[in-house]
Amino acid sequence: MKPPPFDYHAPRDLGEALAVLAGAGAGGKVLAGGQSLIPLMNMRLAAPAHLVDINRLTGLATIEADAGGVRVGALARHAAVERSADAARAQPLLRSALRQVAHPVIRNRGTVVGSLVHADPAAELPAVLAVLGGSVRLARHGGGQRDVPAGEFFTGPLESALRPGELAVSAFFPALPPRAGTAFREVARRHGDYAMAGAAAVVVLDEDLRIVSARVACVSAGPVPVTIDVSQVCDRRPAASADWAAVAAAVRDRVDPEADIHATADYRRHLTGVLAGRALRAAAREAAGDGRDAGEAGEPSDG
C-alpha cells in the first residue's frame, strides 16, 4: 500500500498553481485534504503523474457568509466550516450535514470543496449543494473562471465537470428564503461512515405557514445526488397536517439505488423514503418556527 512514483509540486500562490496544473494536463491532480486521494493512491487505484499540493495557498482558506449565502474557499476544512457561526446562520444545512461527514480527525483535514470535486454519491456535501442549487467556481491558467451549477457539476460517480488543468477555487451555498427550514438525515453502518442512505431537505412555507416548496437531495441513491421535488405531494398543507407517509412513498418510488455489500437495493430504497420523510418533516417544523432542527433525538416513528 505505497503509491507509485509521482512528481510533487507545492505552488506558493494561485497563479503558480494554475500554471503547474496547466502544464500537467490530464496527468495532474490537486491535493487538498488528502483524505480521499491519498488512500486511492496508496491502493494504486489512482496514479497521477503530478500531484499539485494546494495547502500553501492559505488565501483559499476562506469562509465568506452574508445574506446571500456562504462562499467556501478551496482550503476551508470541514471542521472550520462546521464551526463557523456565520456560515451556520446563513445556511444551517451546511453544519447539520458536516456533522455527519466522517470523524473529527478527518474533518480537520478534509475540505468542503475537495469533497464536492471528489463527487462521491455517498457523500453529504454534494447532496447539500444539489438541494440548495449552489455552484462550484473553477479557475484555469490564463482562462479566467467559470461557475458551474450543482445540477451540471456532478456528472457520475466520482466524476465532476472539472476539466484537466482546472482548479476549484470555491463553492457557493445560497442562503434560504424567509420561512424556510432545512434538515439532514442519514443512516450509516457505523458512526461517521459514508451513509447507506440519506437526505438533505429544504422546505419553504408561505405566509400562512403552508408548504409551498419541498425538495430533497438523496445520498447513495444513484450515480449523483438525486434531487426530488415533492412540493406537489405536500399539497400546500401546513406541516402538521401534511401526509408525510405519502411524501416518503413518493421519494421511495422515484429513487433506484443499487445494492452493495452493506445493503440490498430494496432496503436502500425503503430507507431513502423513510429518511427523506423524516428530513422533510423536520425541515417543515423548523420553517414553521419550531426552532432549529435538533437532529434525530426523539424522532417520531413514521409507521
Ligand X SMILES: Cc1cc2nc3c(=O)[nH]c(=O)nc-3n(C[C@H](O)[C@H](O)[C@H](O)COP(=O)(O)OP(=O)(O)OC[C@H]3O[C@@H](n4cnc5c(N)ncnc54)[C@H](O)[C@@H]3O)c2cc1C
**Which residues of this protein are in contact with ligand X, per CB under 6 A?**
29-37, 74, 101-102, 106, 110-111, 113-115, 117-118, 123-125, 162, 167-168, 192-194
Residues 6+ apart with CB under 8 A from 38: 3, 31
CB of 238 to ligand X, least distance (A): 34
CB of 246 to another protein, least distance (A): 15
124 Ramachandran zone, left/alpha/beta (phi>0; psi -120 to 50): alpha
Amino acid identity for residue 184 in this structure: F
Beta bridge mates, 140:
144
302 binds, among another protein, ligand X, none (CB under 5 to 8 A by kind): another protein
| In the block, residue with C-alpha cell 480527525 | 105
Residue nearest to ligand X as judged by C-beta position: 110
Q: Which residues bind another protein (CB under 8 A)?
A: 1-5, 39, 43-44, 187, 189-193, 196, 261-264, 266-268, 270-271, 274-275, 300-303
CB of 107 to another protein, least distance (A): 15
CB of 236 to ligand X, least distance (A): 34
113 binds, among another protein, ligand X, none (CB under 5 to 8 A by kind): ligand X
Amino acid identity for residue 11 in this structure: P
Report which DSSP code applies to 119.
T
136 close to 173: Cβ distance less than 8 angstroms: no
> 3-state DSSP call for residue 60?
helix
What does the block give as the cell for 35? 483524505
Cβ proximity to another protein, 5 vs 291, nearer residue: 5
Distance CA 107, CA 17 (A): 24
183 close to 293: Cβ distance less than 8 angstroms: yes
Residues 6+ apart with CB under 8 A from 302: 244, 245, 248, 274, 277, 278
Cβ proximity to another protein, 16 vs 193, nearer residue: 193
Cβ proximity to another protein, 21 vs 274, nearer residue: 274
Distance CA 195, CA 280 (A): 18
111 binds, among ligand X, another protein, none (CB under 5 to 8 A by kind): ligand X
37 binds, among ligand X, another protein, none (CB under 5 to 8 A by kind): ligand X
Q: Can you give the length of the chain in residues?
A: 303
275 binds, among another protein, ligand X, none (CB under 5 to 8 A by kind): another protein
> 3-state DSSP call for residue 24?
helix
115 binds, among ligand X, another protein, none (CB under 5 to 8 A by kind): ligand X
CB of 55 to another protein, least distance (A): 22
Cβ proximity to ligand X, 168 vs 263, nearer residue: 168
168 binds, among ligand X, another protein, none (CB under 5 to 8 A by kind): ligand X
